[in-house]
Structure formats: structure tokens, C-alpha cells
Structure 1
């Protein structure tokens, strides 16, 4: 059973594949309607408890994730789960870190890394991805390396 967001729900970014991901700021009230099935919270300290499955990435305001490999893994999981589940990405304000993470999801979805910030600014929030180093992070973002195929030569 598919449990994704409705296209009219607030804060939704539609990726080119059709996946829907909600971005939001935790300093704002939670939107009405369905709750996420999975959330990724980008904060400098542990995220508040929620009733759905969630991952916390240590990501201080205006900065980059503390562990970039873990960020790749968690964002890849969020992207994969967005195909069939309501996935939410959130930071304090819902613009800088959230926009950066959404741009990384756009890269995973096939948007060229050099165009991902513009894509998120057009389809999510015009000020998404706030700092030069966040923009550079998106431009250099790549999926986690895949294991080489096993077997013969």
C-alpha cells in the first residue's frame, strides 16, 4: 500500500520521478493532515521525539552535516522510501539545511548536481540552500558508492 503525500499538501517537493517529499521547519507548527511515515531531522542537537520512524543527522544551523557518509546513507534511504511512503525532511527553519537535503534528494533522483539548487528553489522555496558551502556540498554530492558486483572476472 502506498502512503505518499498528496500533491496539494503544504511544503511538498515533487521530484522528477514523481516522488513527493515534505520539507518543513520544526520551529513552525506541524502541518495539518497526515503524519510522516519516516522523517529525517537536521539539527545540531538530537531531534525531539516523534511517533513515526525517524533519523537524526547532526547538522548545525548554516553548516554541513557532521558525518557526510552517514548523511549520504540517510538521504539515500529517504529518497528510496519516498517512492511509497510519506517522507519528511526538516530543520529548524525549513530552508537552509532542509533545502540542502532536498537538493541532494533531487541529485539522487537524477537532477544534475549543478542544477539541483535551482530545482529546489523553483519547486520548494525560493531561498532554499542558504550558504555558499551548502551550495558547494550539493554540487559535489554523489550517491554512496555501490559495492562492486560479485562473481567471476
Structure 2
């Protein structure tokens, strides 16, 4: 879904760690979390994005994958979510990976915490890691925290 090209010429490499929303995982991989309702932040585009929304997003000029994930809830398809998060983590080693939802906090924070688990953070510490390194409000609902604790 939403397969785009490699992005504009001259936009190779990884994220700038100082860019808004960019979180460094313990391995050094960089991923960006984003609130889609705030629009595109400008600057460098992602090469791959994972969007967590209740309904299908519009087309993007970069490669993107959509997961049906209603606001304040959990993903509808856990197997597809695990697959998509695994892909996002793998690609973050060599590409600019973005994770986003409408507000960029609950669903995005939950997904980023799962990426932290894939990167070696113990599941019971992943929410704290994301709150420290991305947003103190990340992972809003108790069931989202439980989802992260059981992820992996």
C-alpha cells in the first residue's frame, strides 16, 4: 500500500538526531515519531513510514504502510502489526523510518516502545524509555502499556 519511490535526490542517509520527533534507540538506530494532524514538519522526508490510523491515510510520495489502529485503542491485526514493526525496525538501520498517528502520542508511542523492545529494551522498561527519549506523554492508555509489556 502507498508504495512510493526513494524520495527526492540528495535525501540519502539517516535522520538528523536533532530533528523534532527523532528518537535514538539503544543500538543507535534513529526513528521519527510524528503527529499527522500537524502536517509535514518540513526538512527531510522519510524513506519508509508506518501509519497507525483508524482509516486509510492519503497517498504519500514515500513508501508507507498502514495499520488499522483506532485512536486510543490497539491494532486490529496483531500479526500484521508485529510484521510491520519488524519491517520498520529492520529498515531503520539503513533508512529514514517514520511512525505516525493523528496525535503522535498514544499509538505512535506504543509503536515506538515496541521498536525499542525489538532493539533490546526489556519490555517492562520500553514505555519508560520512549517517555524519556520521545515524549513524556507517550503510550496513553493502560491497555497500550500492557500491549508493549507483552510485545515480542
Common fold: TM-score over 0.5: yes
Indicate the SS of the match to 1:115: helix
- The match for 1:128 is 138
CA distance in 1, matches of 2:103, 2:56: 16
* Structure 2 unmatched ranges of 5 or more: 1-11
* Structure 1 unmatched ranges of 5 or more: 143-153
Indicate the SS of the match to 1:27: helix
- The match for 1:116 is 126
- Post-superposition offset of 1:29: 2.2
Matched, 1:19 2:63: no
Matched, 1:39 2:81: no
Structure-2-length-normalised TM-score: 0.91
CA distance in 1, matches of 2:138, 2:61: 27
CA distance in 1, matches of 2:57, 2:130: 24
CA distance in 2, matches of 1:48, 1:137: 27
CA distance in 1, matches of 2:97, 2:82: 16
Matched, 1:70 2:80: yes
- Choose from 15, 18, 25 the match for 1:5: 15
Instruction: Give CA-to-partner distance per residue, 1:80-103, whole Å, 9 cap, x none.
Output: 000010000000000000000000
- Post-superposition offset of 1:43: 0.2
Instruction: Give CA-to-partner distance per residue, 1:98-140, whole Å, 9 cap, x none.
Output: 0000000000000000000000000000000000000000000
Structure-1-length-normalised TM-score: 0.91
CA RMSD of aligned residues (A): 1.1
Larger radius of gyration: 1
Aligned structure 1 segments of 4 or more residues deviating by more than 6 angstroms = none
Indicate the SS of the match to 2:37: coil
